[in-house]
Amino acid sequence: MASVTFDKATRTYPGTERPAVDALDLEIADGEFLVLVGPSGCGKSTSLRMLAGLEDVNSGRILIGDRDVTDIQPKDRDIAMVFQNYALYPHMSVADNMGFALKIAGKPKAEIRQRVEEAAKILDLSEYLDRKPKALSGGQRQRVAMGRAIVRQPQVFLMDEPLSNLDAKLRVQTRTQIASLQRRLGVTTVYVTHDQTEALTMGDRIAVLKDGVLQQVGTPRDMYDRPANVFVAGFIGSPAMNLGTFHIQDGAAVLGEARVPLSRATIDAMGADSKGEVIVGFRPESLDRVSAGTEGAIPVTVDLVEELGSDAFVYGRLAGSKELAEHISSGAGDAQIIVRIDPREVPMKGETVYARIRPGEQHNFAVTTGERLPD
């Protein structure tokens, strides 16, 4: 096994000015499961392909363990990759697909069969070894692709959105299997996804990318509790965080009837160029439903209630003028607020509910930079 290091690794595609990956600095520990996450075009797959040797590194370097692999051929990097589309040979059996790389490497047939059977047992594929891929379900095909990587016994697993072709229920089941399998094998794994729920549930740590630039790296709890900037705050969490631009007045952030107390440290860190404004973030689950007239309550006009059985979420807008409402956005879009409520006390559409941010659960960001301010 081995660690992985991106040392200011940059990739700029020919004919473009902006790097697809810009000076990526990232250290992945031996045996760690790290998830690269971000929206489409953020550079996560390019970073993975740079590590695999499928993309050139224009500047900086990449190390696997202590070995600089920047200019080494993919076949010599001791990595195994699992792709989104499985990439199985349709004319070969499951066993032949899983053992193909070992066959090409000239390994003895007995060793190939032993490794294939061991991997099949781990992945619950033993009874399917003689079948062709067309006779398997999507989840089984993905497990065959995983098995092909396992039998190679590489130093590093690379996974490029391996669950995106599966249906929702199978995706949940398979991500659990992948995470538990990685912990059993202890192989350093770099996993790419655009699904932040996958990232939060699978990774030891998460690295969030935007426009080729690393925004934050940390544990799922770090990302949830202390997002480094507005982008990470809005990206991590389901449903997404509410974010509003508030005016500062008498030591509090104020927007219409809503009033959120700010600490002295927050106000002092804002700087003169803030123009007396601050971005306040608050998660749907950080809001308490309160009665009308409660000090600091945020009035929300209900547009839709999403009932999930154990939970319910109100999707609405800030009550009052349209101009005020447009100062807040959420994962549901501009001028929208999401509030988690008791599923047994669901309001009607058009009703106004009042919510207050739980003390200590707000997130404050600078208007000018989007960076987190001290609490």
Query: Domain limits of the chain?
Result: 4-234, 240-365
Answer yes or no: is pLDDT of 211 > 90.
yes
Percent residues over pLDDT 90 in the chain: 66
Average pLDDT (269-297) is 89
Half-sphere exposure of 215 (CA within 13 A, CB side): 30
> Check: CATH 1.20.58.220 for 4-234?
no
Closest CA to 300 of 311, 287, 310: 287
pLDDT at 364: 95
Q: Report CA 168 to chain centroid distance, whole Å.
A: 17
Instruction: Answer whether 4-234 and 240-365 agree in fold.
Output: no
Burial of 340 (0-12, 13-18, 19+ CB in 10 A): buried
Phi-psi region of 63 (alpha: psi -120 to 50; beta: other; left: phi over 0): beta
Of 11-20, 156-165, 269-278, 287-296, where does mean pLDDT reach its minimum? 269-278
Kindly report, residue by residue over 156-181, the tens digit of the pLDDT: 999 999 888 778 888 888 888 888 88
Closest CA to 35 of 157, 184, 212: 157
Say what the pTM is. 0.89
Residue 8, classed as helix, strand or coil, is strand
DSSP alpha helices (H): ranges in the chain? 44-52, 94-104, 109-122, 138-151, 168-185, 196-202, 220-225, 230-235, 264-268, 322-325
What's the CATH number for 240-365? 2.40.50.140
Percent residues over pLDDT 70 in the chain: 100
Kindly report, residue by residue over 180-203, the tens digit of the pLDDT: 889 988 999 999 999 888 999 999
pLDDT at 23: 96
